[in-house]
């Protein structure tokens, strides 16, 4: 599982994920943090993974928002 790898091991591969997969992993991160039972360092590492996943999801959503605005502008212009 990707979340079991170290932050350094997955940092670059997260950006290759599609939105749905990244969002699912983010949900797993949140569930693990809420469940507790992690070491302090484990919690920090998981939090960092969650932050990278959150940024990636936001970046993908922003890109789609721009694409939709461009499509709308094209249809409004015709």
For 14-54, what is each residue's pLDDT tens digit? Answer: 889 999 999 999 999 999 999 999 999 999 999 999 999 99
Per-residue pLDDT at 17: 92
Average pLDDT of the segment spanning 6-13: 76
* pTM (2 d.p.): 0.84
Average pLDDT of the segment spanning 50-66: 97
Any idea which of 1-5, 36-40, 56-60 has the lowest mean pLDDT?
1-5
Break the chain into its structural domains and give their ranges: 18-77
The CA-atom distances, in angstroms, between 67 and each of 15, 72, 74 are 19, 9, 11
Per-residue pLDDT at 1: 62
């Amino acid at each position: 599982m990707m979340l079991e790898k170290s932050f350094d091991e997955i940092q670059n591969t997260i950006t290759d994920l599609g939105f749905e997969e990244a969002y699912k992993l983010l949900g797993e991160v949140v569930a693990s943090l809420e469940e507790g039972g992690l070491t302090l360092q484990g919690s920090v590492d998981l939090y960092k993974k969650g932050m990278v996943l959150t940024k990636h999801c936001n970046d993908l959503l922003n890109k789609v928002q721009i694409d939709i605005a461009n499509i709308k502008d094209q249809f409004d212009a015709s």
